[in-house]
Amino acid sequence: MSFADLGLSAGLLKAVAAMGYTEPTPIQEQSIPVTLTGRDILGCAQTGTGKTAAFILPALQLTERGKGIGILVVTPTRELAGQIDEVARAASKFTGHRVAAVYGGVGYEPQVKKLRRGVELLVATPGRLLDLHQRGDVDLSHVSILVLDEADRMLDMGFWPDVRRILALLPSKRQNMLFSATLSKEIMRIAEPMLDDPARVEVSPSATPVEAISQS
Ligand code: AMP
């Protein structure tokens, strides 16, 4: 299967080629066409599977420019936020969407400046996003696509109360995607009320964490 078969626009196909991707990965093949129909997604995929492009590409296609932050990606760490920001910037090279990442541990000013210039896709860690919202520096009232990336890690790191606060700031009518390396009982309990009839996409990792640990 090729990226063109997945229903992506010409601008996104051009970006994909420029990124050096020739064929979609299994998670991209499964989730891009479904996401483009507007359906919620429950994704079980680890880093390294191509999951970032799997949510970024269709989200960009579904989002108009110039209408405020339409896509919000919430992720647990600054490193992940940086990686997603990189993929999002490369993916939007020919569509003109503006991308920004906000995370803690660095000054507010450069992030605030970027937000003021206008952004359609925002990648954020929970605490910094709430801080910026409290300061009045970020408007979440136009978000129509929410991605919760590495939901299991956000739960483990104790970010879930912050995530809940963020959910309460978003319009209730939106498309939701939740990605997690594991779909534990606890993740399912959280996912269920926030996802509406989600399509479940899953790729099995080549080795589960336990198998990947060698004992000596
Ligand atoms: P991710 O799982 O999103 O962290 O992606 C893991 C790595 O795979 C990143 O370095 C991506 O740039 C790369 N990647 C994602 N999709 C593709 C693809 N379709 N073809 C080749 N590399 C890809």
Rounded alpha-carbon distances, angstroms, from residue 186 to 154, 156, 191? 12, 10, 9
Q: State mean pLDDT over 12-23.
A: 98
**pLDDT band for position 18 (cuts 50, 70, 90):** very high
pTM score, whole prediction: 0.94
In short, whether 51's Cβ falls inside 6 Å of ligand 1 is yes
Q: Using CA atoms, how far apart are residues 178 and 21, in angstroms rounded to an integer?
A: 24
In short, whether 24's Cβ falls inside 6 Å of ligand 1 is yes
Q: Which two tokens stand for residue 3?
A: 């990226």
In short, whether 70's Cβ falls inside 6 Å of ligand 1 is no
**pLDDT band for position 206 (cuts 50, 70, 90):** low
Say how many Å lie between the CA of residue 30 and the centre of ligand 1: 15
69 closest CA partner among 123, 120, 118? 120
Taking CA atoms only, the protein residue closest to ligand 1 atom 18 is 21
- Whether residue 211 is predicted with pLDDT greater than 60 in this model: the reply is no
Taking CA atoms only, the protein residue closest to ligand 1 atom 5 is 50
Rounded alpha-carbon distances, angstroms, from residue 149 to 11, 20, 137, 176? 25, 23, 23, 11
Residue type, 206: S
Q: Which two tokens stand for residue 213?
A: 């640990």
Contact 24, 1 (CB under 8 A): yes
Taking CA atoms only, the protein residue closest to ligand 1 atom 19 is 24
Q: What number does the ligand 1 atom closest to the CA of 25 have? A: 19
In short, whether 76's Cβ falls inside 6 Å of ligand 1 is no
**Residues 69-127 pLDDT 10s:** 999 999 999 999 999 999 999 999 999 999 999 999 999 999 999 999 999 999 999 99
Q: What is the pLDDT of residue 204?
A: 72
SS3 161: helix
Contacts of 39 (CB under 8 A, 6+ apart): 175, 197, 198, 199
Q: What number does the ligand 1 atom closest to the CA of 45 have? A: 2
